[in-house]
Amino acid sequence: MSLIVQKYGGTSVGTVERIQAVADKVIGFRKAGHDIVVVVSAMSGETNRLIGLAGAMQSTPDARELDVLVSTGEQVTIALLCMALKAKGQDARSYTGGQVRILTDNSHTKARIQDIDDANMRADLELGRVVVVAGFQGVDLDGNITTLGRGGSDTTGVALAAALKADECQIYTDVDGVYTTDPRVVEKARRLEKITFEEMLEMASLGSKVLQIRAVEFAGKYQVPLRVLSSFKDGPGTLITIDEEISDMEQPVVSGIAFNRDEAKLSIRGVPDSPGVASKILAPIGEANIEVDVIVQNMAADNTNDLTFTVHRNELEKAKAVLESVAKDLNAREVVGDDTIVKVSVVGVGMRSHAGVASTMFNALAAENINIQLITTSEIKISVIIEEKYLELAVRCLHSAFDLDAA
């Protein structure tokens, strides 16, 4: 008998029928002898409806009151799921974040979990009940309702699993696992049986948006075995694990190919060299609350500097305006923006101990005449910036080059 925490997202509980299907799935696990704690999101569409009402009241809704408002979405789902379970003969009990209690700091709309009281949940589990907890929400020390930010239900699931020392945290979603790359781009993409937390972090942050990054970090930190599965289709999903020792002798060097279409590139050229020039350029970007991803700096032959970085495409114009003002101050030659680029990355813990991953990658791209504009590397990832039109070609040739194609 195991203790399993299961999290079902908004699509999985989007209608009366789907909530009943979740109840059936949960009862199946109970019948197999497991103790089950279920975390649910708001029914799909509900959070947006509530945020729409808030926007009609106040152009920037008060953060405390916004949390009071949107937390009702999950509260509706926990009650309905408990009713569905009881109607099918399974005793169950619902908890809001405050009732558990999931103690957070007081940063409304983006609160961080500080402590979880597991006493009530344990008492219910001992009575044979299924415990149903509202995701995404908590309560601060003064009793104010807080929320963890969008997608925070994943974090609730992992945090409960950590607090309860659960055997597994299962995240039910509309995909049946983590793939070597996006199956819409590469037909031969394969579902991974296992992936490490670090690889998952790199895959998630690069655009394979299966799981909240924060939930993965949390699971890694507290060593909670995490499994991504489909709500709608049976199957083992993908296990995200701390264990790098995959038994298969032919452990792949690269686990997956990630990509991101949402970036744009900005360059400032001909900046006269002086100490701290990169900081002088990037500090105003940070102050404007623009997040920067890849950063590359070159010294040109004339002893001036070129600095290139990428930002979210939506922020290109804003970043360019900031940079043009910086360029004037620093007496730089020019500022150039480009929103027709993409980032493609190979990810794998295996590359730590294998040389030659970079050359395999660059050779594969060169063989297709794909020009690499920027390169950036980390311990388990190599990313390149290329022209947007080559995205699919690049992902497919890398998927093959690293032997990821399904047989």
Q: What letter does residue 43 receive in the DSSP assignment?
A: P
CB of 185 to a second copy, least distance (A): 39
- Listed in sequence order, the residues at least 6 apart from 202 whose beta carbon sits closer than 8 Å to its beta carbon are 258, 345, 347, 378, 380, 381
At residue 183's C-alpha, the angle toward residues 181 and 185, to 5°, is 85
Q: Between 68 and 375, whose beta carbon lies closer to a second copy? A: 68
Per CB under 8 A, 137 contacts a second copy? no
What span, in angstroms and rounded, lies between the C-alpha atoms of 208 and 201? 10
Which contiguous run of DSSP H or E holds residue 365? helix 357-367
* Straight-line distance from the first to the last Cα atom of the chain, in angstroms, rounded to the nearest whole number: 36
CB of 161 to a second copy, least distance (A): 23
Q: Which of 34, 64, 269, 280 binds a second copy (CB under 8 A)?
A: 64
Q: Which amino acid is at 54?
A: A
C-beta separation of 101 from 117 below 8 A: yes
C-beta separation of 83 from 13 below 8 A: no
Q: Between 71 and 383, whose beta carbon lies closer to a second copy? A: 71
Per CB under 8 A, 19 contacts a second copy? yes
Q: Was 95 annotated as part of a binding site?
A: no
Q: Between 94 and 238, whose beta carbon lies closer to a second copy? A: 94
Token output for 345:
């990355």
Which residues in 38-57 contact a second copy (CB under 8 A)?
Answer: 50, 53-54, 56-57
Per CB under 8 A, 143 contacts a second copy? yes
Per CB under 8 A, 118 contacts a second copy? no
* H-assigned helices in 92-246: 97-100, 119-126, 152-164, 197-205, 213-221
Piece of 60-68, 108-116, 178-186, 242-250 that binds a second copy (CB under 8 A): 60-68
Q: How far is CA 258 from CA 15, 21, 27, in A?
A: 33, 33, 36
CB of 98 to a second copy, least distance (A): 8
Per CB under 8 A, 252 contacts a second copy? no
Q: Was 174 annotated as part of a binding site?
A: yes
Per CB under 8 A, 216 contacts a second copy? no
Residues at the interface with a second copy (CB under 8 A)? 16, 19-20, 50, 53-54, 56-59, 61-62, 64-66, 68-69, 71-72, 75-76, 78-80, 82-84, 86-87, 93-94, 96, 98-99, 143-145
Q: Binding site: what residues are annotated?
A: 7-10, 47, 74, 173-174, 179, 184, 209-210
Q: Binding site for substrate: what residues are annotated?
A: 47, 74
